[in-house]
Chain A
């Protein structure tokens, strides 16, 4: 109820990105890396990860917080990629077929995840993390035991020497950067992957448009107050499941885009870090468990990767130890989640306290 437009208010609500920006302002010169190099890196990484992070926005809208459900979508995308590699596909058709394969899997997993999350309302973040953990088990079982035995894999190079199970990592020579390179322009010696950004833009527009639809409005209502939404006849549970399905779908496509950019698959690792990374990036971008915008996505991916790139070099130049920078990276990604959530909880508690004293607008 305070004036929302004050400078102090703006600073507080953007505290996290501001802290990171200040840190970057200090670390970038320390690292000794050139600005054009950094810019190039950032563009490439924005193209790689924006879609993944974008997948978190819709569940936040539906009041389901920062949700690890997207990890399931990433798995689906990865399964699609493994299969197209086995089938010997390459180029754009490979990506499209992988997306096509990933779609039903993401919808199925999203439905499952949404269903479980409906049983654990208000504890979505933790619950989805645990679902991701278990589904990772299922994923490993599928790739490590079923593929090459029950599910036929024709390309022996993909298999472990024992004859079944997918190898730990695989290169994607025919897929590497096909989307990025298909249409790209050179600006100041940097390749800008126009088509990839166009795909990302389409999804952004879809999300913006989605918010203006009836279902988007229903999601907001469910996110803000389940009891009232339910009373008005909005199918709360269905709406929440839908939010998760949209999230897993975007994450599936996001993972495919990301893998083609990297050009390799770490069969058993690539998807695992995606959840933590995406949530951390979104938080760095200034989002909270209750509010996340498209701007938060891009600011977050940019700042997070900037820290990633400069901190090892900055660490080395400062203390003479690149390893320190490495630690810092890991520390940052986990730490930022904890700190942002703490900051957020503190802010909420503070507000709640004032409110309760004043008998004003306590929800629940």
Chain B
């Protein structure tokens, strides 16, 4: 851009995790007001690079990093996130950095609360100022409106749908007064296109005010849409640093993976049997904040892949969450003529249903445990599988078998890790998502609810995950009900697609139907 000193300059960055090199000689500049797109496969090192910049504790705890970072020409080395915040760097984390039991307002204003004077301040200092909740709520409403959504400032984060959590995290960063650099790590992975657009517009506005932005996404069209420059990482090395005008989705994808990527689409097979009474959902109501389902009826055929689409906030995510017992539900759900007990996750599992949640980051993954245990856990709990009986009394985990199964899934889903014993916490976001998929597949469910199954997964691996889903559908006859915010993804794999609008089914179309027809249904016309 200009010849002045760049706002941010990272030089020769290198990072090892216990001898495992994940970043090597990365040189990266960011100018004022510039939007830099950072792309790369799952596990390429994007999040690690940003964690280094932001002084995240995990970096120190694993031996620090090599190389230098300069801010406005001055060398910095942040030892904790607060130091980075003070220097004007904000970060929207890929794995949320929110307090679940706090409301939106409390999270957004964490440690920078609006306060009022109180007399005791004179004796005990500023921490005895009282909170001005009304003023904070007012500001939150304003910031959130700017993002194009409608979140009640008092909603607890733990009760929010995942997109609201994302917006809460974003709102916290953009509301900071003296922000110079904003890092956003896959903020759009859980957002629908409309929501994402609102966010991109906000980012553009921030950039116009002079904030330098580093934007990470696996949706390459977004990258091309808002970024001035694109940096591609592959296996911890910087492969390409190019202005966005000179690239297109195809070439970025091939730089990421190292080889050409073909288009993918599945053949639609009419393999499902139209058993009318397989799974019928009648007058389902789900009390899920932001994704409420109101009086929804839907017939699912045995052996089909049914897609569920619709705009954000219309209730498409509520269906699976309600049936699986995560949010309070009413109505009736019958599976092969047998009525299912609602509001009981264990009953749902025992009836042969399984769920890939869109809220991976709320991560019911046992983060500190191994990949193996994560995959085996539901199997042991629900089916009593993988347990050895000793003297007919005590049950014991069958370690060998767990390793075997885990290794097969690592291979099948191409999970990037050091082995079945690596803890899930140490995996990249996309690879954690793959573990979520694996643990559900290991259950071999009769019915699989897959909500945003490819969330945060790079474009190469996306095809892999979808084809695995297709495979279990064809080979094992698993009925799949897949919810996605990307219509294209649904159309590539589903047999039929139901569009949800205002908590009800607006219509069901075959996947081959023209895109415009889906668009009309989404708008409720």
Q: Assess the B326–A360 pair: CB atoms within 8 A.
A: yes
| Given A3-B287, A213-B131, A232-B82, A357 contacting B382 (CB threshold 8 A) | yes
Q: Looking at the complex, which one of A218, A353, A359 makes contact with B111 (CB distance below 8 Å)?
A: A218
Determine the distance from Cα of A353 to Cα of B382 in the docked complex, in whole angstroms: 10
Determine the distance from Cα of A218 to Cα of B126 in the docked complex, in whole angstroms: 12
Name the CB-closest residue of B to A215.
Answer: B127
What distance in Å separates the Cβ of B89 from its nearest Cβ neighbour in chain A?
12
Determine the distance from Cα of A228 to Cα of B85 in the docked complex, in whole angstroms: 13
Could you give, for residues 96-119 of chain B, a 1 whenever the CB lies within 8 Å of some chain A CB and a 0 otherwise? 011111100010001111010010
Q: Assess the B128–A214 pair: CB atoms within 8 A.
A: yes
In the assembled complex, B346 has its CB within 8 A of some CB on chain A: yes
Q: Assess the B365–A362 pair: CB atoms within 8 A.
A: yes
Q: Looking at the complex, which one of A225, A354, A355, A358 makes contact with B99 (CB distance below 8 Å)?
A: A225
Most buried by A among B115, B127, B326: B127
Q: Assess the B359–A359 pair: CB atoms within 8 A.
A: yes
In the assembled complex, B332 has its CB within 8 A of some CB on chain A: no
What distance in Å separates the Cβ of B382 from its nearest Cβ neighbour in chain A?
7
Q: Assess the B127–A233 pair: CB atoms within 8 A.
A: no
In the assembled complex, B362 has its CB within 8 A of some CB on chain A: yes
B118 to chain A: which residues have CB within 8 Å? 213
| Given A213-B129, A234-B111, A360 contacting B85 (CB threshold 8 A) | no
Q: Which of B361-409 contact A (CB under 8 A)?
A: 362-368, 377-378, 381-382
Q: Assess the A359–B365 pair: CB atoms within 8 A.
A: yes
B164 to chain A: which residues have CB within 8 Å? none
In the assembled complex, A276 has its CB within 8 A of some CB on chain B: no
Determine the distance from Cα of A229 to Cα of B82 in the docked complex, in whole angstroms: 10
Could you give, for residues 125-138 of chain B, a 1 whenever the CB lies within 8 Å of some chain A CB and a 0 otherwise? 01111110000000
Main secondary structure on chain B at its contact with chain A?
loop
Q: Assess the A356–B106 pair: CB atoms within 8 A.
A: no
A214 to chain B: which residues have CB within 8 Å? 113, 115, 126-131
B127 to chain A: which residues have CB within 8 Å? 213-215, 218
Q: Looking at the complex, which one of A209, A356, A358 makes contact with B366 (CB distance below 8 Å)?
A: A356
Number of interface residues of B (CB under 8 A): 55
| Given A3-B328, A221-B102, A357-B382, A362 contacting B363 (CB threshold 8 A) | yes
B167 to chain A: which residues have CB within 8 Å? none
What distance in Å separates the Cβ of A93 from its nearest Cβ neighbour in chain B?
24
In the assembled complex, A217 has its CB within 8 A of some CB on chain B: yes
In the assembled complex, B158 has its CB within 8 A of some CB on chain A: yes
The stretch that binds A, out of B23-31, B349-357, B495-503, is B349-357
Determine the distance from Cα of A229 to Cα of B324 in the docked complex, in whole angstroms: 32
Residues of A near any B CB (own CB < 8 A): 1-3, 209, 212-215, 217-218, 220-221, 224-225, 227-234, 353-364
9 tightest CB-CB pairs across the interface, nearest first? A233-B82, A359-B364, A361-B362, A215-B127, A232-B111, A231-B81, A3-B328, A359-B357, A232-B110
Residues of B near any A CB (own CB < 8 A): 56-57, 80-82, 85-86, 97-102, 106, 110-113, 115, 118, 126-131, 158-159, 287, 324-328, 343, 345-346, 349, 355-357, 359-360, 362-368, 377-378, 381-382, 436
A/B interface sample: 24 pairs, CB < 8 A? A3-B328, A3-B343, A212-B131, A214-B126, A215-B127, A218-B127, A224-B101, A225-B99, A231-B57, A231-B81, A233-B81, A233-B82, A234-B111, A356-B364, A357-B345, A357-B364, A357-B377, A357-B378, A358-B355, A359-B360, A359-B362, A360-B326, A360-B359, A362-B364
